[in-house]
Structure 1
Amino acid sequence: MSVPAEMNVTTPLNVAKRHLRDALKLKLKDVSHDSITSQSSTVYRTLANLDAYRNAQRISVFLSMPTGEIQTDAIVRDALRAGKDVFVPYLYKNPAAAPGLPARIMDMVRLRDFADYESLRPDKWGIPSIDPATVPERQRVLGDPDVQHSDSTLLDLILMPGVAFDMGPDNGAVRRLGHGKGFYDYFLFRQRLKATSLGQQGFPALLVGLALSEQFLSPPEGPVPVGPLDQPLDGLILGNGNIRGPLAAAPLNETD
C-alpha cells in the first residue's frame, strides 16, 4: 500500500499548514474554559437534532483534549445511551513499516458500555485513551488480518477534530487542517480502500467536523491549505450552533 508523498515530506504546503497551526494555537489559548463548555453543549444539542446522527448506528467519536477543542463527553454518552456502536481512536505502531508509510497509525476500536468508557485513563495530552492490553478483545474497524473485526467493518458517521476549518470558495466543501500527524488522513485512506474492496462506491461514511467558533476561519484569516490527502468534510458543526457544508441542508429534528 502506498500513499502520496506529501505525508512525510517537507513541502511548501506543509510549511503553510505548520504556520497556520501555530497561529491557531495562540488564538485558542484565549478561549476560556466556560466558553469551551458552553460551545460544546451547543455542538452536542445541534448534532443530537440531526437525522444524520440519529440514523447512524456505527459512529466514531474523537475523545477530547482538556483545552482548545470541543468536548465530546456528552456525545459519547448520548450515543452509548441510544444503543449505537461507538468507536474511538486507538494509536499503534504500524505493522507494515516501509519507506513512505507512517510509523504510527490509527484505528477505531469499540467501546463496550458506559463502565468501559469511564475506565479510560488520560494519556500524556490528557486525552482519555484505550488500554492497549484490551485491544485484542475489542472490535476494530480496520486492523490487521488477525484482529477481531466487527460484523460490519465500516462506519456510518465519523466525528472529527481539527485545528482550523473553512469553506472552499469553488465548491463549498468544508476544508480541515488537522494536528499534523496524519492519523485521520491515513485512516480515511485505508477505510476508502476497504470500502472499494467490499464493492462500495464513494466514501463509506459521513465526515463531520466539530469545532469551536474560533476555529472557523473567515477569508482574511484563511485559506486552510489542503493537499491530495486532505478529505473534504460533509459538514461542520460550530460552537455557535451554525452548520457549514452540505450537512447544512439536512433536516433538523427538534422535537425533543
Structure 2
Amino acid sequence: MHMVTDEFAMNSLNAAKQQLRSAMKQRLGAISKESVKAQSSVVFNKLREFKPYVEARRVSIFLSMSTGEIQTDGIVRHALESGKEVFVPYLHRNPLPSPDLPVRVMDMVRLRDIEDYESLQPDRWGIPSIDPATVHDRQRIFGGPDAHHSDKALLDLILVPGVAFDIAPETGAIRRLGHGKGFYDYFINRLKAKAKDLGVEGHIVNLYALGLSEQLLRSPAEGSIPMGPYDQRIDGLILGDGQVVIHPTD
C-alpha cells in the first residue's frame, strides 16, 4: 500500500511539473531575441563581479539553447580568459545500467581554451556540444577507467539553467523546475558522493541558476514549483532584470 501511495504521489508531482513546463514554454516562446540578448548582457555583468564566480577556480557552465534562456557564450569566454578551468555538460549512456537509475547521465568535461570552445558543433537543439570522439582525451568530473586524472576533480561553482523558478513563501528557498530529465539533480548527488569518498565532505560547490526575468514566478497566481525528494536546492538565482536572489542561510 505504501508503494502504491508513493507511486501515486510521484505521478502527481510529475504531472504538475509537466503542466507548468507547458505553460512556461508558451511564455518563453514569446520573448524576443533582442530581450534575451539584453537580459543575457545584464546577467553577465552581474556575474563577473559576483563573489562566488570571481573566487571560483573550477566552474561548470551550461551551454545555451538559441532561444528561451540566458545566453552563456560571453560567460564561457570570460571564464576561459580569466584563467578558470571551465567544464561543460556532456550527456552519455549510464555505464551502470539499472532499472532504478537513468539511462542517460551527465558528466562535465573540461574545455581546453577559446579555440576548443569555438570548435564545438551545435546539436539538434542548437546547443554547442562536445564531440564524443574527444571525450576520452579530456578531463572529466566522473569519467571512466581511462580518466585517471579525473579521480580528484571537483567543482567550485555550477551555473545551471532552468525552465522556471520561484521562492518558497515559508522559507525563502529558491526552487527550480528543470527540463524533466533530472540530469543536474543526479549529477549533483553523484558529486556530493564523490566529495564524501575523497574525504572532503565539507567541500562547498556553489549552485547558482541564471534566468530570464520571465522565468521567475512572482506570485501564486502564476503558479508554484512542485518539489520532489531528489530535487536539488539552489544557492541563488541571477535574473535578466538584474535581480540577484540568494538562498537564506540556515
Interval of TM-score (by shorter of Structure 1 and Structure 2): over 0.9
Q: Which whole-Å CA distance do the structure 1 matches of 2:173 and 2:144 have between them? A: 32
Q: Which deviations, in whole Å up to 9, do the C-alpha atoms of 1:82-138 show, x marking residues without a partner?
A: 000000000001110111111100000000001000000000110000000000000
Q: Which deviations, in whole Å up to 9, do the C-alpha atoms of 1:28-80 show, x marking residues without a partner?
A: 11100000000000000000011111100000000000000000000000000
CA apart distance, 1:195: 1.1
SS of the equivalent of 2:222 reads coil
Q: Which whole-Å CA distance do the structure 2 matches of 1:246 and 1:23 have between them? A: 26
Q: Which whole-Å CA distance do the structure 1 matches of 2:225 and 2:246 have between them? A: 15
Q: Which residue of 1 aligns with 2:241?
A: 240
Q: Which residue of 1 aligns with 2:186?
A: 186
Give % identity: 58
SS of the equivalent of 1:106 reads strand
Aligned length: 242
- The Cα RMSD (Å) is 1.8
TM-score with structure 2 length normalisation? 0.92
Q: Which residue of 1 aligns with 2:160?
A: 160
Q: Which residue of 1 aligns with 2:74?
A: 74
Q: Kindly provide the amino acid, as one letter, of the partner of residue 199 in structure 2.
A: G
1:167–1:245: 8 Å Cα contact kept in structure 2?
A: no
Query: Do residues 49 (structure 1) and 87 (structure 2) align?
Result: no
Query: Do residues 142 (structure 1) and 107 (structure 2) align?
Result: no
2:192–2:201: 8 Å Cα contact kept in structure 1?
A: no
Hey, which of these two has a bigger chunk of helix by percent? 2
CA apart distance, 1:199: 2.1
Query: Do residues 105 (structure 1) and 110 (structure 2) align?
Result: no
Q: Which residue of 1 aligns with 2:226?
A: 225
Q: Which whole-Å CA distance do the structure 1 matches of 2:31 and 2:203 have between them? A: 34
Regions of 4+ moved over 6 Å = none
Q: Which whole-Å CA distance do the structure 2 matches of 1:52 and 1:214 have between them? A: 24
Query: Do residues 133 (structure 1) and 133 (structure 2) align?
Result: yes
2:152–2:198: 8 Å Cα contact kept in structure 1?
A: no
Q: Kindly provide the amino acid, as one letter, of the partner of residue 237 in structure 2.
A: L
Gaps of 5+ in 2: 1-5
Q: Which deviations, in whole Å up to 9, do the C-alpha atoms of 1:138-175 show, x marking residues without a partner?
A: 00011234324447411000000000001112221110
1:138–1:148: 8 Å Cα contact kept in structure 2?
A: no
2:142–2:150: 8 Å Cα contact kept in structure 1?
A: no
